[in-house]
Amino acid sequence: MKILAGEIKCELETQTQKIGHCVIYEEELQRIWPLDDEDRERKIAQFARDYGFHLNFYKHGLGATFVKAPPNISV
């Protein structure tokens, strides 16, 4: 998971100015979360939160799009 998180972080740091997101396709996601994994989207979203990202879009069988997590706003 750390390798995937590093890949996403690098993409977000270098590409955010241009495209604003990082796409990870199903082939890579399946290495960590098998297609038949229960609550797969929830687990991917939790991974994103754990590593400081936000799961912006997920499509089963296609992939996931991550963006930088918005800053915490305290009121």
Domain boundaries, the chain: 2-68
C-beta of residue 39 within 8 angstroms of C-beta of residue 25 = no
> What's the sign of the alpha-carbon dihedral 8, 12, 14, 20?
positive
Q: Write the CB contacts of 20 (distance below 8 Å, at least 6 apart in sequence).
A: 67
What is the arithmetic mean of pLDDT over 28-49?
Answer: 92
pLDDT of residue 39: 93
Concatenated DSSP letters for 48-74? HHHTTEEEEEEETTTEEEEEEPPPP--
Q: Please state which of the ranges 10-19, 40-49, 53-62, 65-74 shows the lowest mean pLDDT.
A: 10-19
Q: Tell whether the model's pLDDT for residue 74 goes beyond 60.
A: no
pLDDT of residue 64: 93
Residue showing tokens 């955010």: 16
What is the rounded average pLDDT for all residues in the chain?
Answer: 84
pLDDT of residue 49: 92
